[in-house]
A and B are shown apart, each in its own frame.
Chain A
């Protein structure tokens, strides 16, 4: 039984989308089922190692797609103003890279996160190694990992206010500077 079939069977109704690219399997699961699905994957499929947790900001991608759709529609029928269909797609994604040390199989798990609800269940209870990657993802994108034991910034300093890997953050920053008062530290 291939990994694809086993994962499909294991996830059942929690599986939103499964894709495969050159042997790498990627599944998408709903945000509120993260802990249950991950526990199942660890215990039943043997994904006992969490390689990484990181985020993706699809701001530009969605903007480009929306623009393209608008253009196409205008070319076809010019009188009708193109309307947005349904809510906009969630802007962020959290991606978990799992590895099974016994079978040397890898699995990518994606969770879509809308901009107005950045809460994501933490997987630190399943893999302890998730603590620092989740802190980094919080630092760079602003995901609020619920249940994380110590959700502080990992790379930027504590007083830093933005999340610099978001696409709307300027590359050269907004002129933030770090000041330390050593008398009180």
Chain B
């Protein structure tokens, strides 16, 4: 795509964005980061009964380099924080994060010296799921919400804004 085509919100730009969002929203490959009991609910959501693959979360990636959605299910201790940060940094763009359960959202009942009080303070989180632990329906609902969010995204427009800002900065 040349620069002319992404100048302004033209037909080509929006159609291309729709195409990209279509692809992204229908294949949110998860990275299961289960550190506590929420991980069991995540396994349940992935398995045949609830079957997260229906919504495109077909292939569970066990390397952060081949996934799109980091599903952080469970307590994150302060000892674990650098590892979580590194895994998030290893994921390729575009990437999203779902915080599953009370511990990942706020630290939950573990208001202690050893527990990170919510992963939102160390990595950007897109969807928070409350519950201790949330039911698999909750995880599926969060995935659907994330798909809505991906479909409402403007990846090319954002890129254009970045290019424009960079050009203006050089002037």
Same assembly: yes
Q: In the docked arrangement, what's the CA distance between A172 and B86, Å?
A: 25
Q: Are B113 and A176 in contact (CB under 8 A)?
A: yes
Q: Are B81 and A173 in contact (CB under 8 A)?
A: no
User: Is A170 among interface residues, defined by CB-CB distance under 8 A?
Assistant: yes
Q: Are B113 and A169 in contact (CB under 8 A)?
A: yes
User: Is B15 among interface residues, defined by CB-CB distance under 8 A?
Assistant: no
Nearest A residue to B83, CB-CB: A180
Tell me, rounded to whole Å, the shortest Cβ–Cβ distance linking B57 to chain A. Answer: 29
Q: Are B114 and A177 in contact (CB under 8 A)?
A: no
Q: Are B78 and A164 in contact (CB under 8 A)?
A: no
User: Is A157 among interface residues, defined by CB-CB distance under 8 A?
Assistant: yes
User: Is B112 among interface residues, defined by CB-CB distance under 8 A?
Assistant: yes
Q: In the docked arrangement, what's the CA distance between A178 and B78, Å?
A: 6
Interface size class of A (residues with CB under 8 A): 10 to 19
Q: Are A177 and B111 in contact (CB under 8 A)?
A: no
Q: In the docked arrangement, what's the CA distance between A171 and B107, Å?
A: 14
Nearest B residue to A173, CB-CB: B113
Nearest B residue to A171, CB-CB: B112
Q: Are A164 and B81 in contact (CB under 8 A)?
A: no
Tell me, rounded to whole Å, the shortest Cβ–Cβ distance linking B27 to chain A. Answer: 30
Contacts of B78 on A, CB cut-off 8 Å?
A: 157, 176-178
Q: Are A171 and B113 in contact (CB under 8 A)?
A: yes
Tell me, rounded to whole Å, the shortest Cβ–Cβ distance linking B114 to chain A. Answer: 7
The tally of residues in B whose CB lies under 8 Å from a CB in A reads 10
Q: In the docked arrangement, what's the CA distance between A171 and B82, Å?
A: 22
User: Is A182 among interface residues, defined by CB-CB distance under 8 A?
Assistant: yes
Q: Are A180 and B113 in contact (CB under 8 A)?
A: no
A164 contact from B82, B83, B113, Cβ within 8 A: B113
A173 contact from B79, B83, B86, B114, Cβ within 8 A: B114
Contacts A176-B78, A182-B86 given: A164-B114 contact, CB under 8 Å? yes
Q: In the docked arrangement, what's the CA distance between A172 and B79, Å?
A: 15
Q: In the docked arrangement, what's the CA distance between A151 and B113, Å?
A: 22
Nearest A residue to B89, CB-CB: A182
Q: Quick one: CB contact mask for B72-89 with A, threshold 8 Å, 1 for yes?
A: 000000110111001000
Q: Quick one: CB contact mask for A154-185 with B, threshold 8 Å, 1 for yes?
A: 01110000001000011111101111101000
Q: Quick one: CB contact mask for B91-130 with A, threshold 8 Å, 1 for yes?
A: 0000000000000000000011110000000000000000
Tell me, rounded to whole Å, the shortest Cβ–Cβ distance linking B69 to chain A. Answer: 24
Contacts of A174 on B, CB cut-off 8 Å?
A: 113
Q: Are B79 and A156 in contact (CB under 8 A)?
A: yes
Query: What is A's interface to B at a CB cutoff of 8 Å?
Result: 155-157, 164, 169-174, 176-180, 182
* Further contacts, 15 of them, CB under 8 A, given A178-B81, A178-B82: A155-B114, A156-B79, A157-B79, A164-B113, A170-B113, A171-B111, A171-B112, A171-B113, A172-B113, A173-B114, A174-B113, A176-B78, A177-B81, A178-B79, A182-B86
